[in-house]
Amino acid sequence: MANLDRQNYNAQTGSSAIIDEGLRTHMLRVYNYMGIGLAITGAVAFFFAQWAVSSEEVFNLVYVSPLKWLVMFSPLAFVLVLSFGINKMSFATAQLTFWAFATVMGISLSSIFMIYTGASIAKVFFITAAMFGTMSLYGYTTKRDLTAMGSFLMMGLIGIIIAMVVNIFLQSSALEFGISVLGVLIFVGLTAYDTQKIKELYEELDGSEVMGKKAIMGALTLYLDFINLFMMLLRLFGNRN
């Protein structure tokens, strides 16, 4: 009987170790996709801004003409395509769409290099990375169920979006400051919640195609948390040109 119990324990321990190793591999894949996406966005934003500065035609076309609205909202179209169409896509198509999204987001964010100093952008980026890393690690390791907190934060996010739309017309600096402060708190919390959710969606028996799509969607979620946290912090601490 003792030998049987020991065998059962060893089998359970071995199975748990396999699951843990698979989960670590999956999460590493998520972070790798997210990191590459951020690198693409940063590079495209920087070099596109340099091009726009050196070419008045490009500057006027992208930042002054009505085309600016397409540049501004096109990343949202990619997010919607991935969110609602991921199940119908192949993994290769989903991956290509994610890289295209990161590229378009870089063009959309290129204007920050004209608004803020390079030093302050770098400073805020490292602050964002530290905050994001801390909260993502918390979300991965905590035993606490963050579902209730996530629901509350999603309601706060909807409120933030509504306030941002309203402030497009009001142009209130006080409201912008309040949005930025609340936005930092919301996206810090969402980073932990989304990390835990990605972890919980991992299934050992998923096929490689499904696992790949889950990694893409997880990377997209954390990428958006990072970018939004970065933008909120930049509005608070960025030094304008």
Name the E strands within 121-213: none
**Section 74-82 average pLDDT:** 94
Alpha-carbon distance of 44 to 66, in angstroms, equals 21
Task: For 153-190, write each residue's pLDDT tens digit.
Answer: 999 999 999 999 898 888 888 999 999 999 999 999 99
C-beta separation of 177 from 203 below 8 A? no
Q: How many residues does the chain have?
A: 241
Cβ(187)–Cβ(131) below 8 Å: no
**How many other C-beta atoms are found inside a 10 Å radius of the C-beta of residue 138?**
16
Entry pTM = 0.90
Domain ranges of the chain: 2-237
Q: Which residues of 192-212 are buried (b: 16+ CB within 10 A; e: fewer)?
A: bbbbbbbbeebeeeeeeeebb
The residue behind tokens 């979620």 is: 221
Q: Quick: pLDDT tens for 25-72.
A: 999 999 999 999 999 999 999 999 999 999 999 999 889 888 888 888
